[in-house]
């Protein structure tokens, strides 16, 4: 029997495996997709996350990022990072670097998709492996989390709270991303805002930039995810929601200044999508099964700190398991994730507010020191 079985070999699963191995635990990862795994992502790694990766012995190639720029039709605001650089890095490059580090530590990665597991007082079994603990790092639409929530759901009170109903009916946010072969025109992550969507431009190499579009779409009239976990779980997090590049082009046309920059540039990757992004998760510890990364809950990609938060969670989780205190992880997870998630939720609320939304970029331009402080709050989260 090994100590830890990690289901999902994305960046957070691999980082958790590396942290566990370095803490002296025997660990195995299951990941059905061949390395290097790609995914829809803005690919901006904030400075604190770059330091966390380096501390794990992972230093992928990429494009240095010096800060964040907000742009709308009439305004522009720049905020520089105060403590080191971030990194624009292709997901495939990041994944390959993490996988290589895991390999040097002798961590086995099994090409297995885990669809079921069983736990008792002493151990967990999944994918033919017996372990003391199972860590679900299987992404936004985690199969393991859905099963745990289904099995542990107590009968609820008749009816739902008004805020819960409102959230279940609100439009859901999605992301689409594609790369373009063009020399980056800035070393900032450029965020273009319209009332309906944001376009993130991240330089990832001397001749490629990534463009990630974030937008809301109305729900399609099916039962809300909370009431029907199986349905939400079927949405693959790496497929474009509409599976059509036409949708990407139409949405991109709402950003004329960005279109000018990309004029004549060839696409350098296939279109990928993710969503719905928001995943409200009630708890992270279910006996010997624990959740990490996007599987443990997600708010939005608006502030681009998902990888940083996931790396912090990985560190905290490994420390709790190495100490033989898995129950402590719930509180450690809140410490690792809470400040960033609250900030993202607050910004998202402002962005959707009828009066505040259109004033965000002008505000950032007029109060650059506040903008810079907030950007650095996220960058160091």
Ligand X SMILES: Cc1cc2nc3c(=O)[nH]c(=O)nc-3n(C[C@H](O)[C@H](O)[C@H](O)COP(=O)(O)OP(=O)(O)OC[C@H]3O[C@@H](n4cnc5c(N)ncnc54)[C@H](O)[C@@H]3O)c2cc1C
Q: Which is nearer to ligand X, 111 or 156 (CB)?
A: 111
Binding mask 194-233 for ligand X (x = CB under 6 A): ------------------x---------------------
- State the Cα–Cα distance between residues 137 and 58, nearest whole angstrom: 19
User: DSSP alpha helices (H): ranges in the chain?
Assistant: 11-22, 47-55, 91-104, 143-152, 162-169, 229-233, 245-252, 256-262, 306-322, 329-352, 360-366, 368-379
Give me the DSSP letters along 179-190. EEES--S-SEEE
Stretch of residues binding ligand X (CB under 6 A), selected from 27-35, 76-84, 101-109, 371-379: 27-35
Question: Site for ligand X (CB under 6 A): which residue of 11, 62, 67, 241?
Answer: 11
3-class secondary-structure state, position 274: strand
Judged by phi (left if over 0) then psi (alpha if -120 to 50, else beta), residue 243 lies in: left
Among 4, 5, 8, 72, binds ligand X (CB under 6 A): 8
Which of 80, 76, 82 is closest to 364 using CA atoms?
Answer: 76
From candidates 77, 301, 336, 381, binder to ligand X by CB under 6 A: 301
Q: How far is CA 50 from CA 12, 172, 179, 308, in A?
A: 14, 30, 22, 8
By CB under 6 A, the count of residues binding ligand X is 41
In this chain, which of 89, 134, 274, 302 binds ligand X, going by CB under 6 A?
A: 274
Q: Name which of residues 308 to 337 contact ligand X (CB under 6 A).
A: 308, 310
Is 72 a residue that touches ligand X (CB under 6 A)? no
Q: How far is the CB of 198 from ligand X (least distance, A)?
A: 10
The stretch near ligand X (CB under 6 A) out of 34-42, 53-61, 155-163, 215-223 is 34-42
Distance CA 282, CA 237 (A): 20
Using CB under 6 A, pick the residue from 293, 312, 329, 348 that binds ligand X. Answer: 293
Q: Which residue in the set 28, 85, 205, 237 belongs to the binding site for ligand X (CB under 6 A)?
A: 237
Q: Report how far residue 111's alpha carbon sits from residue 21's, in angstroms, rounded to the nearest whole number.
A: 19
- Which residue stretch of 53-61, 216-224, 299-307, 342-350 sits at the interface with ligand X (rule: CB under 6 A)? 299-307
Q: In this chain, which stretch among 150-158, 292-300, 320-328, 340-348 interacts with ligand X, using CB under 6 A?
A: 292-300
Residues 175-194 that bind ligand X (CB under 6 A): 175, 177
Site for ligand X in 336-375 (CB under 6 A): none
Among 107, 137, 204, 285, binds ligand X (CB under 6 A): 137
Tell me if 150 sits within 8 A of 140, measured CB to CB. Answer: no
CA 339 to chain centroid: 15
Q: From CA 311, how far away is CA 314, in angstroms rounded? A: 5
Which of these segments, 62-70, 75-83, 293-301, 326-334, binds ligand X (CB under 6 A)? 293-301
- Separation in Å, CA 324 to CA 4, 327, 336: 12, 9, 19
Cα gap 293→286, rounded to integer Å: 16
User: Nearer to ligand X by C-beta: 176 or 361?
Assistant: 176
- In the complex with ligand X, the residue whose CB is nearer, 72 or 138, is 138
Q: Which of 66, 75, 80, 113 touches ligand X (CB under 6 A)?
A: 113
Closest by Cα among 295, 276, 273 to 284: 295
Calculate ∠ Cα 51-285-11, nearest 5°: 30
Shortest Cβ 10–ligand X spacing (Å):
2
Note whether 139 binds ligand X by CB under 6 A: yes
Helices (H), 263-328: 306-322
Q: Which residues bind ligand X (CB under 6 A)?
A: 7-13, 30-33, 37, 39-45, 113-114, 137-139, 143, 175, 177, 212, 237, 274, 277, 293-295, 301, 304-308, 310
């Amino acid at each position: 029997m090994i100590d830890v079985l990690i289901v999902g070999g994305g960046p957070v699963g691999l980082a958790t495996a590396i942290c566990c191995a370095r803490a002296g635990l025997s660990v195995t990862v299951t990941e059905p997709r061949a390395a290097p795994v790609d995914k829809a992502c803005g690919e901006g790694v904030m400075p604190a996350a770059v330091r966390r990766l380096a501390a794990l012995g992972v230093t992928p190639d990429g494009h240095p990022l010096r800060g964040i720029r907000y742009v709308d039709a009439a305004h522009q605001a720049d905020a520089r990072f105060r403590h080191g650089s971030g990194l624009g890095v292709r997901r495939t490059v990041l994944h390959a670097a993490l996988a290589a580090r895991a390999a040097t530590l002798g961590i086995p990665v099994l090409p297995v998709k885990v669809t079921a597991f069983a736990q008792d007082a002493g151990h967990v079994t999944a994918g033919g492996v017996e372990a003391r603990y199972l860590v679900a790092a299987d992404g936004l639409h985690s199969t393991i989390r859905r099963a745990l929530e289904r099995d542990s759901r107590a009968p609820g009170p008749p009816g739902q709270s008004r805020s819960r109903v409102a959230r279940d009916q609100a439009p859901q946010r999605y992301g689409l991303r594609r790369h373009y072969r063009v020399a980056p025109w800035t070393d900032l992550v450029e965020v273009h805002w319209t009332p309906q969507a944001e376009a993130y431009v991240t330089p990832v190499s001397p001749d490629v930039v990534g463009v990630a579009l974030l937008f809301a779409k109305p729900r399609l009239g099916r039962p809300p995810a909370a009431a029907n976990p199986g349905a939400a779980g079927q949405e693959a997090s790496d497929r474009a929601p509409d599976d059509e590049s036409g949708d990407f082009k139409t949405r991109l046309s709402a950003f004329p200044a960005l279109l000018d920059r990309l004029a004549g540039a060839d696409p350098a990757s296939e279109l990928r999508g993710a969503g719905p992004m928001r995943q409200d998760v009630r708890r992270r510890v279910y006996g010997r099964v624990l959740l990490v990364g996007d599987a443990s809950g997600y708010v939005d990609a608006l502030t681009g700190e998902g990888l940083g938060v996931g790396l912090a969670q990985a560190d905290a989780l490994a420390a709790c398991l190495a100490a033989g205190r898995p129950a402590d992880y719930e509180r450690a997870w809140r410490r690792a994730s809470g400040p960033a998630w609250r900030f993202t939720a607050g910004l998202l609320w402002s962005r959707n507010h009828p009066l505040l939304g259109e004033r965000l970029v002008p505000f950032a331009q007029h109060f650059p020191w506040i903008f810079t402080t907030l950007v650095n709050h996220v960058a160091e989260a």
